[in-house]
Amino acid sequence: MKRGKKMLLNTILLTGTALLMRSVGMAFQVYLSNKIGAAGIGLFQLIMSVSMLAATFSISGARFATTRLVSEELGRSNNNGVKAAVRRCLLYAFCFGIAAMLALFFGSNRIGTKWIGDARTVLSLKLLALSLPAFSLSAVLSGYFTAVSRVIKSAAVQIVEQLIRIAVVVAALSITTGYTVESACAIIVIGGVVGEIASFLMLFFLYIRDRRRYSSDYKKATDITKRLLNIALPLALSAYARTALSTLENLLVPRGFKKSGASNEKALADYGMIQGMVFPIIAFPSAFFYSLAELIVPELTDAQVNGRIREISEMVSRILYLCLLFSIGVTAAMFVFSGELGSSIYKSGTVGYYIRSLALLMPIIYMDSVTDGMLRGLGQQMYSMRYNILDSLISVILVYFLLPKYAVAGYIVMIYFTDIFNFTLSVRRLRIVTKIKIPVKKVVMSVLSALSSVNIAILMLRNIGLPLSSNGLILTVHLLSSGVIYLILLLLFGCVGRREITWLKSVMDIK
């Protein structure tokens, strides 16, 4: 199969997997919110904030280093180099995974009582530590399958892992009576530990079978360890700083809400509602471009190694433009249908209010994730990490000063400011290393098309007896109708035309 067609297939597979996992994950989140409430979700989100810091240390740049090294060796047609790169990355990840496990397990008491300020999190932190070695090793194997463009294997494993995790949690909560928020969080963590270990075992089995296709040759792998450390360690140090600041920010948010006058439970509930309930809805459509952001890394690396500069600029410009068109359409739908989404999914008008409050930020969020992926593919990952660190530092400062006075409103202002700031720096760096051309007139027309599409859909469906409501089926019909009308308007106004279609065909080797 040609490389372009393989990329198309992998994009479809990853997108489908991401959509399925997010759908199941959102349904699971609704289930958990019904079981432990918004305050319980908030407490679990704080546990996950610490988990994010521990996971970052356990990986320490290993996933990206694996993708980059394997892509480089494939570009040189060096089979021995591919195997050697994976071996070194696995050893590297194992050492950091064990270190992270020991640090979290023995430090859980202090972290739970002093950092988080809630002793109910200690048990969950101890259990969570057990998953870190498997998590770090799985990251390496996922990076390998991304580099060799066989993501169907890692995608299938992700689905199975998600199902195992949910099955364990649902079964445990169903047979357990009189559980508390503390024990419920521990049960959720246990489900994650079981899923993570199962994921590693499946990925390792698939890797052993997959590596047979790389028969030994006469080429020697040179400087693998040095190159690994040169890629992973600077990235790891930057990731430590960024994640530590991000964790600090998350821990400060409920405290800021409490300083504004909210009770402990109200502070946890507001935090859990925004982070654990609203953001999963906002992030759900990004699955369409998240997959592309992952797969574009080896594609851009290959083009850069082989000096195809013009192809890089064309690819970057088209992907950014198409991502912008997509995010504009999603933003319009989320903004207009926010109340119905909150009521339909969580039976909460407050969730709908927060969705509308954050909807206008969605183009920035989506395009920033794609921009970061392209910067990594072009070897600019350190710039991306610096911007993320600066973003997190500003977030901590704003959370500290804004939330005690302005509570949730201050938190939303902080999110807008820092996300726009981060994206501005990232896209500026991308413009330095590539030539980006975005047709401004077409973007303006796409905004008008998006606004028109949702209103046309509402009027059209109302006239045939399907007025907008929080009924799940009716809301889905409105969303799908808006999407179809938006696409038609993009075609009519020339926002998507022959040039975009021709480019997609050329990239994917479609005749």
Alpha carbon dihedral 166, 167, 170, 176, in 10-degree steps, equals: -130
Q: Tell me the pLDDT band of 80, cut-offs 50, 70 and 90.
A: confident
**pLDDT for the residue 8:** 57
Q: Which residues of 331-359 are buried (b: 16+ CB within 10 A; e: fewer)?
A: bbbbbbbbbbbbbbbbebebbbbbbbbbb
Q: Is residue 180 over pLDDT 60?
A: yes
**What is the CB neighbour count within 10 angstroms for residue 177?**
6
**Cα distances (angstroms) measured from residue 176 to each of 33, 92, 119, 194:** 17, 40, 21, 18
Task: Look up residue 196 and give its two tokens.
Answer: 């993570």
**pLDDT for the residue 330:** 93
Q: Tell me the pLDDT band of 510, cut-offs 50, 70 and 90.
A: very low
**What is the CB neighbour count within 10 angstroms for residue 106?**
11
The DSSP output letter for 285 is: G
CA–CA dist 395, 418 (Å, integer): 6
Q: Tell me the pLDDT band of 489, cut-offs 50, 70 and 90.
A: very high
Task: Look up residue 130 and give its two tokens.
Answer: 């057990």
| Listed residue (351, 424, 363) closest to 394, CA to CA | 424
Instruction: Dump pLDDT digits (tens) for 44-55.
Output: 999 999 999 999
Query: Which residue matches tokens 């195997």?
Result: 83
CA–CA dist 373, 386 (Å, integer): 15
**pLDDT for the residue 6:** 58
**pLDDT for the residue 221:** 63
Q: Residues 355, 341: contact at Cβ < 8 Å?
A: yes
Q: Is residue 67 over pLDDT 50?
A: yes
| Listed residue (283, 252, 276, 294) closest to 404, CA to CA | 252
**pLDDT for the residue 220:** 66
Instruction: Dump pLDDT digits (tens) for 359-411.
Output: 999 999 888 888 887 887 777 877 888 888 899 999 999 999 999 999 999 99
Q: Is residue 316 over pLDDT 90?
A: no
What's the helix, strand, coil split of the chain in %, to 5? Answer: 85, 0, 15
Q: Residues 173, 35: contact at Cβ < 8 Å?
A: yes
Q: What is the mean pLDDT of residues 304-320?
A: 76
**pLDDT for the residue 156:** 85
Q: Is residue 56 over pLDDT 70?
A: yes
CA angle, 89 as apex, 297 and 80 as ends, to 5°?
85
Can you say how many angstroms the Cα of residue 144 is from the centroid of all Cα atoms in its chain?
A: 19
Minimum mean pLDDT among 214-223, 238-247, 459-468, 494-503: which range? 214-223
**pLDDT for the residue 380:** 80
Instruction: Dump pLDDT digits (tens) for 92-141.
Output: 999 999 999 999 999 999 999 988 988 999 999 999 999 999 999 999 99
Instruction: Dump pLDDT digits (tens) for 447-488.
Output: 999 999 999 999 999 999 889 998 889 999 999 999 999 999
What would the DSSP string read from start to end of 432-475? HHS-----HHHHHHHHHHHHHHHHHHHHHHHHTT----S-HHHH
